[in-house]
Structure 1
């Protein structure tokens, strides 16, 4: 499976004591790219559990998922 993920920022995010979950004592980093609290995990990955390995997906801002044939950039290729 593949997934289109759009990010609005770049560069590092420095973690501090406020980033540690007081109940769990840990910090979970998002790997799906869908978390509203990115780069921290908020459980959004749960909506990807039934993604098929041979499909490409795009998620809207409201979490609506669509299967796409391909992802095309408006950038010119060399």
Structure 2
């Protein structure tokens, strides 16, 4: 077994909470954001903040993909063990 069910579930819950928290923060930032004028330095800071949040969301998405791969590897390992046990 690559990862036990309890650990997998715990990681998945934390990723979901992080994703929801980031979405809430980004929504809040967007609602606070003044009219965007690309020529204004303050607007650049707002846009930079939102872009940073999008980048973090990309990392969370990558972690979710890795976690799914681990789950699939678990399934394959269990199936192989069952097949090996059945042929013995």
TM-score range, shorter chain: under 0.3
Higher relative contact order, chain-length normalized (CA < 8 Å, sep 6+) = 2
- The answer to which structure has the higher strand fraction is 1
Structure with greater Cα Rg: 2
Normalising to structure 1: TM-score of the pair?
A: 0.22
More helix as a share of residues: 2
